Chains A and B, each alone.
Chain A
C-alpha cells in the first residue's frame, strides 16, 4: 500500500507480470529507461512526465487524454516525425522523443498537421 504515494508509477504486482527487456530512449535530450512493450505514453507516465506538448495558439500544456488513439492530444515529435500519437507508438532502443511545440515544425512554420 505504501506504493500508492510513491513517485514511481510503474506497477509491479508481485511479479505476476514482467515487463519486456529494459532499454533506453531519449526524451528531450535526456536518457530515460523504458521497457519493451511500453508505449511512449506509458514510458513517460511511468516517470511522471505528463506534459507531452504545448498547443499552437495558447501554448497550453497537453498530455495523455483518451489513451486510445482517438483524441490526438498526446502528439509528440518521435524520431523526428511530428504529430505522432504517444499512446499508439511503442518504444524501441534509442527512440528519440521530443515534447512537441505547436505542430512540431521548425520555428516560424506553423502549418497544421
Chain B
C-alpha cells in the first residue's frame, strides 16, 4: 500500500483545519497526504451523509454541509493523497503508525506533520451518565444529521454555551421532541453583553445566529432554563427520568432545587475537549486553558508546535470552532510549504496575511464568548462515591479516592492501582475527573497535577494486524 516512502506532508484529520491546510499546501506543490479515521472527509462539523443516501435538496442540509462539501471537493480535485478509514494510532519521531480499518497496518514517514485532530464532547461525570440514552450532543447531532435517526422520544438537552441553543433548535427542526434545554451559566449580565457587542464587528452573523436560536426555542415553547444542570440520570436499563437542579455561578447545585423530568434521552453539550493525544505522543509542550477545553499545545503564530516539523491547527489546539479552524489550517498549510522550501518567507507571510486578519477578528468573539460562558468548577463535583468515573474499566469515584496515595498528586499512580484511564478510550472520558479528584485531595488545582502519561496506541488497534504487518513495509520504529 505504498506506505514506506517518504511523504513531504502528512495531515492527520480531514475536518475544516485539515482540509484548509491540504488546499494551501497543495497549491504550492507540496506532496500531501491526508489521513482520516472516517469513511468520508469533513470531520464532525462537515460530516457528510453516507454515499448510499440520495440527497434531493442539499440546501436543506444547512450551510455547514454546503460549505464542507465545497472544501472536500476542492481537496479531492487537488491531487492530495486521501486515505480514509485510516486510524493514526502512534507517532515516533516523524513516523506515523497507521491502521486501515479491517485491512492493513503500516507506517507513513513524513517530513512535516500537521495535526488537525479536532475535538470531542466534554465528558461530565454524574450518577447515571453511563445509562443508554445519555449521549453527547455531538453524538446525537451526528445521529440525526447524517443517519437521519432520532436518539429517543423525549430529549433533555443540558450543557453550556451557544452550541446548546444551536443543537436544541436543530434537534427540534429535525423532528425531535425537546422537553427542555438547560444552560448551566446564569443569564448573561450587562458586562457580558457589552463584551459580546464590542467583539461583534465582523462577527455579526455569529451573534445573529445565537439570537435566532433563542427566538426559535421561545416560538416553539421549549423551556430554556438558565443556571440549571442535570444532576442524575435514572432508569433501570435505559434512561427513564432526569433529575435537574438549579446551580449558582460556580455551577454547584443548590440544595432543595432538584426536580424530575420525564425523558428517555439526555444530551450533554458542555463544550469540547481538544484531541491532543497525538501531539502529546510527539512530545509537544502543552499548557492548560479551561476556556479552550483544557490541555492545549503551545504554538507560535505560524501554528508550529514546540517540536520541529509538527504543526497543529483547529479545535485540536484549543476549541474555537470551524471558522477559526479553517484559518488556522490555511496558516499551517502555508507554514508547512515554507518549511519544505516550496515558498519563500516573504511569500508565505503574504499568503497567510488575510487568514491572520480574519483570525484576529474571530478570536475577539471567541474570547468574549468564553468569558460569557466560563466553565464552573461545580462541573467536577457532580459525581457521588458510587458513580462510575472510568466508563471503560468501570472504576468508581470511591475506588479512585481510596487509591490516592497519601501525599501523592499524580493521577498516574491512581491509574496504575485502579486501571482508571487504561481502557479502550485511553482516558479520554475520565482523565479530567480523575485529575480533579486527585487535585482536590492534594489541595491543588487541575492544571497543577500531571496528565495521564500518553501511551500508544492512541486508538484501539487489533494486535494481529500490527503483528502481521507485511514484510515489505518498515516496522514501527522501536520505542525509546
**In the bound complex, do residue A113 and residue B52 qualify as a contact, i.e. CB atoms below 8 Å apart?**
no
Instruction: For chain B, residues 162 to 219, give those with C-beta under 8 angstroms from any C-beta of chain A.
Output: 174-177
Nearest opposing residue in chain A for B54, CB measure: A18
**In the bound complex, do residue A37 and residue B394 qualify as a contact, i.e. CB atoms below 8 Å apart?**
no
Tally of contact residues, A, Cβ under 8 A? 53
Nearest opposing residue in chain B for A52, CB measure: B132
**In the bound complex, do residue B148 and residue A68 qualify as a contact, i.e. CB atoms below 8 Å apart?**
no
A38 contact set on B, CB distance < 8 A: 50, 147, 149
**In the bound complex, do residue A4 and residue B143 qualify as a contact, i.e. CB atoms below 8 Å apart?**
no
**In the bound complex, do residue A11 and residue B149 qualify as a contact, i.e. CB atoms below 8 Å apart?**
yes
Tally of contact residues, B, Cβ under 8 A? 57
**In the bound complex, do residue A70 and residue B120 qualify as a contact, i.e. CB atoms below 8 Å apart?**
yes
**In the bound complex, do residue B120 and residue A66 qualify as a contact, i.e. CB atoms below 8 Å apart?**
yes
When chains A and B are docked, how far (Å) is the Cα of A34 from the Cα of B57? 23
A46 contact set on B, CB distance < 8 A: 147, 149
Q: What is the CB-to-nearest-CB distance from B220 to chain A, in angstroms, rounded to a whole number? A: 10
**In the bound complex, do residue A17 and residue B135 qualify as a contact, i.e. CB atoms below 8 Å apart?**
no
Q: What is the CB-to-nearest-CB distance from A109 to chain B, in angstroms, rounded to a whole number? A: 16
Nearest opposing residue in chain A for B50, CB measure: A37
> Does B24 interact with chain A (Cβ within 8 Å)?
no
> Does B402 interact with chain A (Cβ within 8 Å)?
no
Nearest opposing residue in chain A for B275, CB measure: A70
When chains A and B are docked, how far (Å) is the Cα of A17 from the Cα of B55? 5
> Does B49 interact with chain A (Cβ within 8 Å)?
yes
> Does A26 interact with chain B (Cβ within 8 Å)?
no
> Does B253 interact with chain A (Cβ within 8 Å)?
no
Q: What is the CB-to-nearest-CB distance from A25 to chain B, in angstroms, rounded to a whole number? A: 14
Contact indicator per residue, chain B 27-70, by CB within 8 Å of chain A (1) or not (0): 00000000001110000100001111111110011000000000
Nearest opposing residue in chain B for A56, CB measure: B394
Please indicate which of the listed interface residues B150, B153, B459 has the most CB atoms of chain A within 10 Å of its own CB.
B150
Instruction: For chain A, residues 12 to 52, give those with C-beta under 8 angstroms from any C-beta of chain B.
Output: 12-13, 15-21, 35-39, 41-42, 45-46, 50-52
> Does B142 interact with chain A (Cβ within 8 Å)?
yes
A69 in contact with B37 given A3-B175, A11-B144 (CB within 8 Å): yes
> Does B136 interact with chain A (Cβ within 8 Å)?
yes
A51 contact set on B, CB distance < 8 A: 132, 237-238
**In the bound complex, do residue B55 and residue A16 qualify as a contact, i.e. CB atoms below 8 Å apart?**
yes
Q: What is the CB-to-nearest-CB distance from A27 to chain B, in angstroms, rounded to a whole number? A: 15
Q: What is the CB-to-nearest-CB distance from A54 to chain B, in angstroms, rounded to a whole number? A: 10
B54 contact set on A, CB distance < 8 A: 17-18, 20
When chains A and B are docked, how far (Å) is the Cα of A104 from the Cα of B460? 15
When chains A and B are docked, how far (Å) is the Cα of A68 from the Cα of B136? 10
> Does B432 interact with chain A (Cβ within 8 Å)?
no
> Does B424 interact with chain A (Cβ within 8 Å)?
yes
When chains A and B are docked, how far (Å) is the Cα of A104 from the Cα of B459? 19
Give residues in B with beta carbon < 8 Å to A: 37-39, 44, 49-57, 60-61, 101, 120-121, 130-136, 138-140, 142-144, 147-153, 174-177, 237-238, 275, 388, 391-394, 423-425, 428-429, 459-460
21 pairs, CB–CB < 8 Å, chain A vs chain B = A4-B177, A9-B150, A9-B151, A11-B175, A12-B148, A17-B56, A18-B54, A42-B149, A51-B238, A57-B393, A61-B237, A62-B130, A62-B391, A65-B134, A66-B121, A67-B138, A69-B38, A70-B275, A72-B460, A90-B50, A112-B423
Known: A4-B153, A58-B388, A60-B394. 15 other contacts (CB 8 A): A4-B177, A11-B175, A15-B56, A16-B56, A17-B60, A18-B53, A37-B50, A57-B393, A63-B238, A66-B139, A68-B44, A68-B138, A68-B142, A69-B37, A88-B37
